[in-house]
Each structure stands twice: as structure tokens, then as C-alpha cells.
């Protein structure tokens, strides 16, 4: 395990300097995978389920309604989408139907990061949508201290809609 760990992260402590020089790209990939995996899985720890009549005592629940159906609607690509948007949506559909549908990892935010990406792309177009999605993935860690909670799809989640992140420059719907 220790060997695999150091092999993955390519620690300069484990390898000789000459080997490190030869395999710098592999090391970069190893670290990237590690950081992404950490960022991906640490987000799931704060999403927790609850009994039908229980009340969350950790955070205020701003909305007590439950969203139906029990899963968010699946993405559908429309002919009105631009080429860049269609490519983005294809990747997102691949993610939602593949990795996400396995059910091993659940996003603790509402909307989930993939749905957030769809909403930002639909609202602001592909370039800004991708930038805002990268921003969402970065701010997810600290946002849990600030975001209110919402009951969505049977679980309490941190409420972080698109409007909460573009309110200072985009027209909000009231």
C-alpha cells in the first residue's frame, strides 16, 4: 500500500532525483489525480440523510419542501444549443448516466455540480458556464460554512444556486 501510495503521488522522497526528472509528467498526473480525488470525495462527507420527521439541528433549513421526483430530471440536449454547449452537454450526460448513476458519490450541494454546470451554461453560455463550474468546484469546501440548507431529493443539502454566484453582475429573477 505504501509502495502504491508513493508510486501514485511520485514523492521525491521515495524516488531518486534522476528518476524524478525522467517522470515529472507522471508525477504531475499522480498529484492531480490525488488532489481531484480528495476534492471529489471530501465533498460527500457533509451530505447526510434524515428520517421523515427529523429536523436538522446543524444548520437552518430555509426551505422545508421536498422536491419531486426522487431524482433530478435527466439532461436533454436541444437543437437550439450551440456547438460548444452541445459538446459540454454530451460530456455531462456521459457523467450523469455513467459515473453519477452508479450512486457511489452524491453531491452534497443543491443543485448538484453537474446540474449547476447545465444551468450556468444554459444561462450564460459555454465559456462562462465552464468558468463558473470550475469556481463552484473550488468554493464547495468553504461554502458549507455559509450556505443555508435545503431538503432536496430526500436529503438535506447545501443550497447554492446559480443566482447565489452571479448576483453581483447578472440580472436575477425575483
Give CA–CA dist 12/62, Å, rounded. 48
- Compute the least distance from the CB of residue 126 to another protein, in Å: 11
How far apart CA 11 and CA 15 sit, in angstroms, is 6
Cβ of residue 132: shortest distance to another protein, in angstroms?
7
Minimum separation from the CB atom of position 131 to another protein (A): 5
Q: Between 71 and 94, name the residue whose CB sits nearer to another protein.
A: 94
Look up residue 72 and give its DSSP letter: P
Task: List, in order, residues 6 or more apart from 173 with CB less than 8 Å away.
Answer: 163
Query: Which residue number, 71 or 141, has a Cβ lying nearer to another protein?
Result: 141
Distance, in Å, from the CA atom of 68 to the CA atom of 43, rounded to the nearest integer, reads 24
How far is Cα 19 from Cα 37, in angstroms, rounded to an integer? 25
Q: Between 36 and 56, whose beta carbon lies closer to another protein?
A: 36
Query: Within 13 Å and on the Cβ side, how many CA atoms surround 167?
Result: 6
Query: Which CB, 99 or 164, lies closer to another protein?
Result: 164
- Residues lying near another protein in the complex (CB under 8 A): 24-25, 28-29, 31-32, 35-36, 39, 62-64, 130-135, 137-139, 141-142, 146, 164-165, 167-168, 174
Q: In whole angstroms, how close is the CB of 125 to another protein at the nearest point?
A: 14
Amino acid at each position: 500500500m505504501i509502495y502504491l501510495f508513493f508510486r501514485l503521488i511520485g514523492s521525491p522522497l521515495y524516488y531518486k532525483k534522476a528518476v524524478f526528472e525522467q517522470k515529472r509528467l507522471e508525477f504531475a498526473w499522480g498529484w492531480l489525480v490525488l488532489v481531484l480525488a480528495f476534492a471529489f470525495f471530501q465533498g460527500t462527507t457533509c451530505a447526510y440523510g434524515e428520517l421523515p420527521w427529523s429536523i436538522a439541528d446543524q444548520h437552518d433549513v430555509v426551505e422545508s419542501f421536498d422536491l419531486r421526483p426522487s431524482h433530478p430530471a435527466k439532461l436533454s440536449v436541444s437543437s437550439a444549443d450551440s456547438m460548444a454547449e452541445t459538446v459540454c452537454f454530451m460530456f455531462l450526460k456521459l457523467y450523469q448516466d455513467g459515473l453519477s448513476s452508479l450512486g457511489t458519490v452524491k453531491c452534497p450541494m443543491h443543485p448538484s455540480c453537474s446540474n449547476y454546470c447545465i444551468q450556468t451554461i444554459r444561462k450564460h453560455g459555454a465559456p462562462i458556464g465552464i468558468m463558473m463550474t470550475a469556481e463552484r468546484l473550488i468554493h464547495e469546501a468553504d461554502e458549507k460554512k455559509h450556505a443555508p440548507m435545503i431538503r432536496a431529493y430526500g436529503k438535506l443539502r447545501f443550497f447554492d444556486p446559480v443566482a447565489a454566484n452571479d448576483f453581483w453582475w447578472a440580472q436575477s429573477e425575483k
